[in-house]
Amino acid sequence: MTWFELFVKLDFENFIKYFRHLQNLDFGTFIKYLNAAKGEIKGLFLNLYDSNFLKSGSYWIQALMTTMINLKHLVIQEYNLESRQFNKIMSYV
C-alpha cells in the first residue's frame, strides 16, 4: 500500500464516521466521495455509530460495494449503545 492509498483509505473511513454530522447530508455527496476514492481503496474497516442516518437506509452499502472497483477487504461494525460493544454486521474478504 502506498502512502497515498493509505491516506485515501483513512480519510474515507473518517468521512463515513462523521458523515451523519454534516449539515448538508445527502446521498449525492456520498456518491461523489465514492467516485473520487474508488480506484485507491483496497480495504476498509468501518465502525458505525448509527447506521440509520441516511434516508436511503442501507443502500449506501450496495453503492459502496459496486463502486469500489479495487476493494478486496471490507469489515463493517456497528456500535451497540446497550452493550457498549461493536457488533460485526458484515465482513467481506
16-44 pLDDT tens trace: 877 766 666 677 888 888 999 989 999 99
Kind and range of the H or E run holding 80:
strand 73-80
C-alpha cell at 63: 453503492
Judge whether 90 and 75 are in contact, CB under 8 Å.
yes
pTM of the predicted structure, to 2 decimals: 0.73
Q: What percent of the chain has pLDDT over 90?
A: 18
For the chain, give the number of residues: 93
Q: In whole numbers, what is the pLDDT of the chain averaged over residues?
A: 80
